[in-house]
Structure 1
Amino acid sequence: MTHPAAFYPIGTPGVPWGEAEKAEWLSRQVRHRSYADDVLALIERFRERFEVEEYGRLDYAGEVYPLYAIRSPDWRDDLPVMLVTGGVHGYETSGVHGALQFVARHAGDYEGRANLLVAPCVSPWAYERIHRWNAHAIDPNRSFREDSPAEESAALLRLVAPLRGRFAMHIDLHETTDSDESEFRPALAARDGKPYEPGGIPDGFYLVDDSDNPQPAFQQAVIAAVEQVTHIAPADANGRIIGSPVVAHGVIRYPLQALGLCAGITGARFTTTTEVYPDSPRATPQQCNDAQVAAVRAAIDHALAHPAG
């Protein structure tokens, strides 16, 4: 799917946003769903089976959002640590619900085999507004770095910091949607005072590997598992997905740490970012959730089968 270039309705073309433009953008954001009902209520049910930790708290003009992570109840220092993150971009629904579904149905399968740490909704303000940015018009998934301007990112960095060096695997659950082209990329161009260059949206699931630590066998193990659930995105006519060369079936690569991406925060051997396409006529919301769960399980299983040595 492609969209024609269009002027975003906030700001002046070629001029980066100031505080006035950001305030105008914020005034247009509408709450569409409830973090408390959709996410926190489920997390409360997990307290009987898992450890639930509040690792941060967001306060946007009096709207307070506690940030929770779910840990294995049988945490052992001799076991590898597996991190699952979702909802870094709040609008990417299956990232949140896929992480929660994994905990509900499969986390117990790894008792005594791995330490699981799951942060299912990193950006709850954006989850409620079905948006990519936080309330300050900052993309958390370009902000995982020291002195992060996004508290969502800073809080997660604080959570994982004591465990760096112990992570075997980190999988970060995302979506690529039609709204990336119709809203979020035009908004980004307007915010930064740059021209909007239309692109395409791949139809299907794909992964983003780390160009500084490529793990092709790991990526293909995840792709093979997801392919049993939903279709894998093909390369475009130029052999690319979202502008990046396809290096293997359904896989592209980014420099995760250099870009401040969530999947680069742990130093784990095995890292990946999932991307499902919920707007495909060939996929349902439940299939998207199931694809995320299949990806998580395959990622953990591969990491367990290939320990560091």
Structure 2
Amino acid sequence: MNNIHATYPIGKAGNAWGKAEKDLWLSQRVRQRSYDVDVIKAVDRLRARFDVSEYGRLDYDQGCFPLLCVRTREWASELPVMLVTGGVHGYETSGVHGALRFAEQHLADYAGQANLLVAPCVSPWAYECIQRWNPDAIDPNRSFYENSPSGESAALMRLVAPLRGRFVMHIDLHETTDSDESEFRPALAARDGKVFEPGEVPDGFYLVDDTQNPQPAFQQAVLAAVSQVTHIAPADAQGQIIGSPLVAPGVIEYALKELGLCASITGARYTTTTEVYPDSPRATPEQCILAQVAAVRAALDYALGHG
């Protein structure tokens, strides 16, 4: 039998973490970058052109983090509403900076066409510490459901709740990294008292569609735009990406609502989760950001043309 402890240095094989293990895990997290410098100051520079608001505030022992969103200023009741989210997993850097880059360079292009809402960094503590979970060892992107234990998820759900039924599109920006296999999946197995089973990190960009509401033409339109920026991930030897069968080149499906994923929160017709591979020898950090921007623009353009 595989030994979880040999794979991850916290916890005992077969035993889920209790408070002591979670406290030990948290004590080992280190702040590596600044949410204030990288995100808040970037959002502040947008205030002259767009509406910026604080939709929540996370008060942790490690600090207080205001949660910011950016809206198109010409908000009109007759226009469709579209949502861009980044940094649900704070360590997935291009999701945060792709959302910010889109807001800075392209948000104004959609004035008069759609009401756009951008939440660029849903998980600021995890952004600073380059982590998947929040300080309570909870994965926000498995926590988008009623009475969520994740403050990050609960705040975003409160933001979108008054607009449910009006959303046409929601794109959630993510990465799949080498650290998924070296750190985050082993930590998950240890936390839950399970055996870690190694997987394969896909080399390239791919999308996650909704099993309950598949939109294949929408996904392919996004991939076509991204393919002009970076390469699309191929299937592995089993015809899968991260354990899920491909439903089309570069596309897998998850049951978004059942799994408590961010892309389930709006009820939009068109939803997708992006995944780019920043550790690829064939991609740079800048390419990953540009791929996220291309995905957002293609998603918006498709939704506007097919709403």
TM-score by length of 1: 0.97
SS of 1:10's equivalent in the other structure is coil
Gaps of 5+ in 1: none
Instruction: Judge conservation of contact 1:178–1:201 (CA < 8 Å) in 2.
Output: yes
Instruction: Judge conservation of contact 2:83–2:170 (CA < 8 Å) in 1.
Output: yes
Greater mean alpha carbon deviation, residues 36-45 or residues 59-68:
59-68
Instruction: Judge conservation of contact 2:144–2:261 (CA < 8 Å) in 1.
Output: yes
Q: Tell me, in whole angstroms, the C-alpha distance in 1 between the residues paired with 2:160 and 2:289.
A: 25
Match of 1:286 in 2: 286
Question: Which amino acid in structure 2 is aligned with residue 154 of structure 1?
Answer: A
Question: Which amino acid in structure 2 is aligned with residue 36 of structure 1?
Answer: D
Q: Deviations over 1:107-128 (max 9, x none)?
A: 0000000000000000000000
- 1:93 matched to 2:93? The reply is yes
| CA deviation after TM superposition for structure 1 residue 7, in Å | 2.3
| CA deviation after TM superposition for structure 1 residue 274, in Å | 0.0
- 1:80 matched to 2:104? The reply is no
SS of 1:46's equivalent in the other structure is coil
Question: Which amino acid in structure 2 is aligned with residue 257 of structure 1?
Answer: K
Q: Tell me, in whole angstroms, the C-alpha distance in 2 between the residues paired with 1:104 and 1:270.
A: 23
Match of 2:268 in 1: 268
Q: Tell me, in whole angstroms, the C-alpha distance in 1 between the residues paired with 2:171 and 2:98.
A: 12
Q: Tell me, in whole angstroms, the C-alpha distance in 1 between the residues paired with 2:298 and 2:265.
A: 20
Match of 1:219 in 2: 219
Q: Tell me, in whole angstroms, the C-alpha distance in 2 between the residues paired with 1:98 and 1:45.
A: 16
Match of 1:50 in 2: 50
**Residue identity (%):** 73
Match of 2:176 in 1: 176
Q: Deviations over 1:158-215 (max 9, x none)?
A: 0000000000000000000000000000000000000000000000000000000000
Gaps of 5+ in 2: none
| CA deviation after TM superposition for structure 1 residue 5, in Å | 9.8
Instruction: Judge conservation of contact 1:5–1:198 (CA < 8 Å) in 2.
Output: no
| CA deviation after TM superposition for structure 1 residue 249, in Å | 1.1
Q: Tell me, in whole angstroms, the C-alpha distance in 1 between the residues paired with 2:201 and 2:6.
A: 17
| CA deviation after TM superposition for structure 1 residue 62, in Å | 5.6
Question: Which amino acid in structure 1 is aligned with residue 142 of structure 2?
Answer: R
Q: Deviations over 1:75-105 (max 9, x none)?
A: 0000000100000000000000000000000
Q: Deviations over 1:262-289 (max 9, x none)?
A: 0000000000000000000000000000
Match of 2:147 in 1: 147
- The alpha-carbon distance between structure 1 residues 200 and 6, as it changes in their structure 2 partners (threshold 3 A), is farther
Q: Tell me, in whole angstroms, the C-alpha distance in 2 between the residues paired with 1:208 and 1:92.
A: 16
Match of 2:107 in 1: 107
Q: Tell me, in whole angstroms, the C-alpha distance in 2 between the residues paired with 1:69 and 1:279.
A: 28
Q: Deviations over 1:1-53 (max 9, x none)?
A: xxx99421001010000000000000000000000000000100100000001
SS of 1:172's equivalent in the other structure is strand
Q: Tell me, in whole angstroms, the C-alpha distance in 1 between the residues paired with 2:171 and 2:282.
A: 24
Q: Tell me, in whole angstroms, the C-alpha distance in 2 between the residues paired with 1:140 and 1:6.
A: 27
Q: Tell me, in whole angstroms, the C-alpha distance in 1 between the residues paired with 2:181 and 2:5.
A: 10
Matches within 5 A, 1:101-250: 101-250=101-250
Match of 2:13 in 1: 13
Q: Tell me, in whole angstroms, the C-alpha distance in 2 between the residues paired with 1:90 and 1:276.
A: 14
Match of 1:37 in 2: 37
Task: Count residues in correspondence.
Answer: 304
Instruction: Judge conservation of contact 1:90–1:123 (CA < 8 Å) in 2.
Output: yes
Instruction: Judge conservation of contact 1:94–1:292 (CA < 8 Å) in 2.
Output: yes
Question: Which amino acid in structure 2 is aligned with residue 131 of structure 1?
Answer: Q
Q: Tell me, in whole angstroms, the C-alpha distance in 2 between the residues paired with 1:258 and 1:250.
A: 22
Instruction: Judge conservation of contact 1:5–1:196 (CA < 8 Å) in 2.
Output: no
Question: Which amino acid in structure 2 is aligned with residue 237 of structure 1?
Answer: A
Question: Which amino acid in structure 2 is aligned with residue 291 of structure 1?
Answer: A
Match of 2:25 in 1: 25
